[in-house]
Amino acid sequence: MRVSVVAPQELAEGDLALWRRYLACDPSLASPYLRPEFAQFVAAVRSDARVAVVEEAGAVCAFFPFQRRGRVGMPIAGGLSDCQAVIAAPGWEWDARALVRAAGLSVFDFTAMRAGQHPFAPFHRKVAASYLIELAEGGFDAYVHERRRSGYDIVAKTLSDARRLGQRIGPLRFAMHDPDPQTLHRLIEWKRRQYRATGALDVFAHPWTVALLERLQATQTEGFAGVLSTLRAGDRIVAAHMGMRSPTVLHYWFPAYDEAYAKFAPGRILLLELIRAASAAGIEAIELGPGEEGYKHRFANGAVPVAAGHVGSASLLLLCRRLRHLTEAVARRLPIGPARQWPATLFHRIEWEWSHR
């Protein structure tokens, strides 16, 4: 195995075509996060984005995108990434530890690795569901019927909220994609207010994240595009969502709404309209990502397992991670109530800020 580590923008056209061909061979890798375009956009706003190009017998057999900080590797785009994988030729077998070492890393931290990538399975620390809205079989109408049969009234309730919003504020208009940069910055402003109100980490405190979304919004190609969807009531934007899509999968990423209209659930209305429009556009699935937010359970009709963990060779960096996870595990077993989550929360915040610098 021979590995060359390059910046994503240094890949030749032949390499990019091969990357896309490998993606097309594996439906589990259809996420826009795994497209070479995404890696190149991240590289345009961060200088530490890299791709390990793997060769055997003179032929390129895999691409391993990551973000590098010294000898530590992390998902490309850091904490913004909801999907990671090695993009490999069908049938190619590899050793995860050897791949990480050959990429020049002592350790690679992953947060949402496709759990079906078996070479990483021994290094999984936690496996969770990344929720899906599956539309391939029958489209929007079949999806609505399935949600009703499953016992969820989310579609009927959302349609009722939409009627109330239209009657009280003005006729509703949905746009699949709004190219206006001002709309994106309004969404970012809403998200930052939400982060402050909930005490969540503010991803937009780092300028590169804003620059990345600006580039994605302006990108509209057949194989990869940013998707800034809006819901208007009358002449007012009441909800918006920024995501991205591959040819078959749309990733639901940054939703927000105007708090003045919260009682009408404009975020849910926008999501339902997005499902309808995505189905009409030939999208086969909307991936909502991991997390236990209630709306994901009510809207999702499928899921794919993703894993968090780390892999590497014996080193001080690897030892530090093992000590961290041991500390978290001990704290969770102590009879100290909510305080048992403090070590995990503290480590997560430190890790997040470090990966976003």
Rounded Cα distance, 157 and 166, in Å: 14
8 Å CB contact between 158 and 269: yes
What is the DSSP code (8-state) at residue 25? T
Categorize the per-residue pLDDT at 347 as very low, low, confident or very high, splitting at 50, 70 and 90.
very low
Residue identified by tokens 């000590």 is 323
3-state secondary structure of 250: strand
Domains of the chain, with CATH numbers?
A: 2-129+306-356 (3.40.630), 136-283 (3.40.630.30)
Question: What pLDDT is recorded for position 215?
Answer: 98
Question: What pLDDT is recorded for position 319?
Answer: 57
Q: What is the mean pLDDT of the chain?
A: 91
pLDDT score of 317 more than 80: no
Question: What pLDDT is recorded for position 153?
Answer: 86
Q: Tell me: the pLDDT tens digits for 208-230? A: 999 999 999 999 999 999 999 99
| pLDDT, mean of residues 80-91 | 96
Question: What pLDDT is recorded for position 137?
Answer: 84
8 Å CB contact between 137 and 107: no
pLDDT score of 355 more than 70: no
| pLDDT, mean of residues 193-214 | 93
8 Å CB contact between 203 and 80: yes
8 Å CB contact between 97 and 313: yes
Q: Which of 96, 104, 6, 97 is nearest to 49 (CA)?
A: 6
Q: Which of 50, 52, 53 is nearest to 7 (CA)?
A: 50
Which has more pLDDT, 341 or 222?
Answer: 222
pLDDT score of 102 more than 80: yes
Question: Looking at the chain, how many residues does it have?
Answer: 357
Which has more pLDDT, 9 or 71?
Answer: 9
Q: Which amino acid is at 357?
A: R
Rounded to a whole number, what is the largest CA-CA distance in the chain? Answer: 67
| pLDDT, mean of residues 147-151 | 88
Question: What pLDDT is recorded for position 150?
Answer: 86
Which has more pLDDT, 330 or 297?
Answer: 297
Question: What pLDDT is recorded for position 345?
Answer: 57
Rounded Cα distance, 235 and 192, in Å: 23
Rounded Cα distance, 127 and 131, in Å: 13
Q: How far is CA 184 from the centre of its chain?
A: 18
Q: What percent of the chain has pLDDT over 70?
A: 87
| pLDDT, mean of residues 162-181 | 97
Question: What pLDDT is recorded for position 199?
Answer: 87
Residue identified by tokens 């826009």 is 32
Instruction: Say what the pTM is.
Output: 0.89
Q: Tell me: the pLDDT tens digits for 253-308? A: 999 999 999 999 999 999 999 999 999 999 999 999 999 898 999 999 999 999 99
Question: What pLDDT is recorded for position 176?
Answer: 98
| pLDDT, mean of residues 170-193 | 98
Sign of CA dihedral 79, 82, 221, 5: positive
Cβ-count burial of 228 within 10 angstroms (0-12 exposed, 13-18 middle, 19+ buried)? buried
